[in-house]
Every structure is written in C-alpha cells, then in structure tokens.
Amino acid sequence: MSTTPLAPPSGSPTAAPAPAPTPIPLMELTTGFWRFKALAAAVDLGLFTTLSGLGSANAAELTAALHLDPRPARMLLASCASLGLLVRENDRYRNSETAEHFLVEGRPHWFGGFVRYSDRHAYPAWHDLQKALLTNRPTTWDPDTQESAFVTADPAILNDFWGAMFTLSSFTADALADAHDFTPHRRLLDVGGGTGAFPAGLCRRYPHLRATVLDLPRVTAMTREKMAGLGLEHAVSTHDGDFLAEPALPEGHDVFLLSMILHDWDEATGRALLTKCHAALPTGGTVIICELVLDNDETGPAPAALMGLNMLIETRSGHNYTHAEYTDWLTGAGFTDITTVPLVAAGANAAIVARKP
C-alpha cells in the first residue's frame, strides 16, 4: 500500500502559510519612548493647558503661544494629534476629550503630575535598569545614604508624585466601589493611604462609611489638607503612624484596605503586615488588597509584570506578586473566604477580598 500523500483535489482549499515574522512589534517596543517623551514635552510646554484656554487654535497661534519655531511646533502638533491627544479640524486644533479632562493643569483629575514625575524621576532611573538587574538595588535613590525614595532634594518631584497618586487612586477607588459592596462596612482603615484618594471616593459613594488614613505624619498633614479642600473632614480622619514599625494597627475598623502597598515590600514584610491586619480586625472583618496582580504562571499581564521591574528600580525589596502568593499569605495570616474581584483601572487589576472568621 502506497504511503505517498495524495495531492488535494483541484479547487479544494489549502491551509494558508503562516505569516512571516516581522520586526514591527519590536519597532513599536523600541520606539515606545518616543510617544512618552512627546507627551512629556507637550505637558511641560503647557500645550494642553494653553489650548484649553483658547478653545481652539491654528498652528501659527499655538507656535506663538508656546514660543516655538514653526518647524518643531509642526512636528509636536502632528505627534500629539497622531497619539489621540489633539483633534484637528480643518486648520485648527483642539484638545481631545482625554487631554481636556486629564492634561489641563488645575483640573480635578490632573494627570500631568504623573507625567512629570515619570519624566524627571522614573525615566532617568529606568536608563539604569540593567544596573538594577545586576545589583538588585534601586536606581531612583541610594539606600546607603537615604532612608527611602521619598527623601529627595526636589520638593516639586514629591508634589508631582502625590498629585499623581491621588489621581490614579481616585479612579481605582471608583472601580473598587463598583466591584465591591461596602454597604455592610462601617469603618475603613486605609493602611498607607497617602493623601486619601480611596477614602474620599469610597465615602462619597457610600455616605454611611467613615474612614481613617494611617500613614507617616508628613503624609497625613497633606491628607488633612486634601480632605478639607474636598469638604470630607467629617468622613475621613487620619492616624499618624508607621504601619511597619509599630507592633499593632489601630483597632475599631471592620474593613482594612491595602492598595499598592504590598508590592513595596518582600514576602516576609507582606505576611507580617497581613498578620497585623488580622489581629486588629474584629471577627467577621474584611481585608482588601488592591494591586496589579501577576497571573500565577507569571506570563502577564504586562502592566503587573512591568510594575514589578519598576519596584526593582524604586524599592529595596518590592515585587509584584501572583494571585496564588497573595492567597497563600492571607491563608497563613488566618483569613478565609478569599475571593478575587477583577478591576479595570490604571492602578490595579484586581481586588483580593478576605474575611477574618
């Protein structure tokens, strides 16, 4: 019997050949910084804030307003339009909805602070990523001479950081409020809560809820100022303290939140902090971890994996962990009924919720 394969009948379909590899994905990865630096330059030049004040403008008007020569102005406007940051109608430009909402300085959800912080603080440190990989040491600060990444000679960088974190966390708080029902909860402790974006958003959505931000004194001073500006002093209070150094966390709360906190530390520190949470919560109390969580096989998602590299250049021992790791930590601390709620937000892709039995 012949084993020679038969040719397909005339006219029958054949499998299409696999597409040949192309360097396009590598080109997009390699030139990704072009997009970021165009955005950073536009923010620093005040393009979007200027254009918001004008409503719309042609290239000549923007060239004059930004004190640029026509050639670089044309290139910047074309780049921002191609990135969806500007809309061109005939010969006039206006901000896109995203730019008008987030990139106009002074607006409630100003994102330009994060752009500036990334450009001036994180971007130079990422140039030394290979050094961080080889030495297992941060590159945004010197752990031999500084207490933390927040010790800096440039207060403007810190202002940009805290403003950026409030904006990012505000939208993550909205996603959490949609995904988890806070109706049964009465008092929230936001561990390392910064300037209070989560309590502000959650207490607005759930008016019965009262919240406390636990953070260092230099941070809680900013929190109180922020809550006063938002008219939320009645709902959000502060507690000065170091949640790592102190032996116990404040009691009197039935839900604890750790948002973008555990990724700053190693496993032993994370486990110890969850043990403190368990000890301070009442029976039936809840702990919620909000993070960019890695898949268990550590192949993605990319924002979580790349945030892990950012923790390498920003912290002594930080890491982005997997669902399985957080579940194991919570179980080890004595929590039960562990569930994961997906989130669609810039600051977190999941809320891991657990209960103290």
Q: Which residue has the higher pLDDT, 292 or 150?
A: 292
182 and 93 within one domain: no
For the chain, the average pLDDT equals: 93
Largest CA distance in the chain: 89
218 and 140 within one domain: yes
As a whole number, mean pLDDT of residues 51-71 equals 97
Using 50, 70 and 90 to split pLDDT, how confident is the model at 2?
very low
Q: Which of 164, 241, 155, 153 is nearest to 197 (CA)?
A: 164
As a whole number, mean pLDDT of residues 166-185 equals 94
Q: Which domain holds residue 311?
A: 114-355
pLDDT at 348 over 70: yes
pLDDT at 341 over 90: yes
317 and 178 within one domain: yes
In a domain, 248, yes or no: yes
Q: Among 62, 81, 102, which residue terminates a domain?
A: 102
302 and 230 within one domain: yes
Q: What does the pLDDT look like over 227-266, one tens digit per residue?
A: 999 999 999 999 999 999 999 999 999 999 999 999 999 9
In a domain, 331, yes or no: yes
Structure tokens at 237: 């209070």
Least confident piece of the model among 104-118, 153-167, 239-253, 269-283? 153-167
Using 50, 70 and 90 to split pLDDT, how confident is the model at 145?
confident
**CATH number of the domain residue 286 falls in:** 3.40.50.150
The count of domains in the chain is 2
Using 50, 70 and 90 to split pLDDT, how confident is the model at 1?
very low
pLDDT for the residue 323: 97
As a whole number, mean pLDDT of residues 315-338 equals 97
Residues acting as catalytic residues:
263
As a whole number, mean pLDDT of residues 127-146 equals 92
pLDDT for the residue 143: 86
Q: How far is residue 10's CA from residue 223's CA, in Å, rounded to a whole number?
A: 76
pLDDT at 157 over 80: no
Residue 39 DSSP SS3: helix
Cβ contact 191:242 at 8 Å: no
